[in-house]
Amino acid sequence: MDGFHPLDTVFEALDIYESVSATYDPSEISLTMLSGGEGLPTDERNIAVKAAMTLRESFGVRDGVRLQIDKRIPVAGGMAGGSADAAATLVACNELWELEASRDDLLEIAAELGSDVPFALMGGLAHGIGRGERLVPINADVHHYWVMVTSREGLSTPEVFAEFDQIMGYTRVPETLVPDTLDLQRALASGNAAEIAALMANDLEVPAFSLRPNLRTLMKSVGERGVATILSGSGPTIAILCNSKGAADQLARDLMAERPGLDILRANGPVAGAHVTEVI
Ligand code: C5P
């Protein structure tokens, strides 16, 4: 698996949005980060710039784009914000450059860019295998109400995976040891929060807590009034599943009042993946 870890996971797209604007340029690809992205690279080390470059190469065109990204998803928070930017860039440049790339074309390019980029394009709820890029949508008319507790200091995904290997004593994770998420997929499609809660688990919690010991305490203390808590991706964001919209709104308000040092976001899912919202 090229040093990547084989996953069996369920993705859910939440309504915490990044905004990417794309303006035509005859040749240059450039990026300006607006609020929230201070300090991030704006050259080809940025996955959004890489997305535009890869799309341009794949279609053999010379057009350019001026990208502007307004970030709301915390950087290195385990919520795939960078992947969302890359997915949005693919969708926007496909329109801007009139490439008429199909969804499958874009999904293929997305998989080259990062493990989570295909899901950021697809959105909704999906079962992911491989390194997370091989997806099967889970079609279900359900709504989930989440409270997200973010941390000001991010965690590096490769470091969390490396810590997992270190703790488990793996040089390579055997694919047969990857637990399957079949029951969780069924529970998610049924929409029953208690059932979902009983099956929610993230193997990256152990290494994330090992790198950031106070995260475990935080997870326990903030999650007590929700139905269940789980680390989002490779952390450090903690996701709390609630029973209803009202319960989630209330929990978010209570946490904000009681723990002013924490950054709390309310989120609902599943929602659509990257899409064009406005053409000017
Ligand atoms: O695919 P992406 O660029 O998001 O992955 C970032 C890093 O996370 C990889 O370089 C790898 O170290 C780690 N990773 C992994 N197994 C996965 C996904 C990511 O080891 N399935």
Count of beta carbons in the 10 Å neighbourhood of residue 241: 21
Tell me what pLDDT residue 35 has: 85
Q: How confident is the model at residue 171 (pLDDT cuts 50, 70, 90)?
A: confident
62-116: pLDDT as tens digits: 999 999 999 999 999 999 999 999 999 999 999 999 999 999 999 999 999 999 9
Q: How confident is the model at residue 189 (pLDDT cuts 50, 70, 90)?
A: confident
Tell me what pLDDT residue 117 has: 98
pTM over 0.85: yes
From the alpha carbon of 132, which atom of ligand 1 is closest? 21
Q: How confident is the model at residue 1 (pLDDT cuts 50, 70, 90)?
A: very low
Tell me what pLDDT residue 2 has: 62
Tell me what pLDDT residue 110 has: 98
Whether residue 13 is predicted with pLDDT greater than 90 in this model: the reply is: yes
112-152: pLDDT as tens digits: 999 999 999 999 999 999 999 999 999 999 999 999 999 99
Ligand 1 neighbours, Cβ below 6 Å, are 4-5, 7, 114-116, 131-132, 157-158, 161
Instruction: Give the distance (Å) from ligand 1 centre to CA of residue 261.
Output: 30
Mean pLDDT of the chain: 94
> Considering only CA atoms, which residue is closest to atom 9 of ligand 1?
158
Task: Choose the residue to mutate in 1, 2, 4, 164 for probing ligand 1, maximizing ligand atoms within 8 Å of C-beta.
Answer: 4
Whether residue 172 is predicted with pLDDT greater than 80 in this model: the reply is: no
Largest separation between any pair of C-alpha atoms in the chain: 55
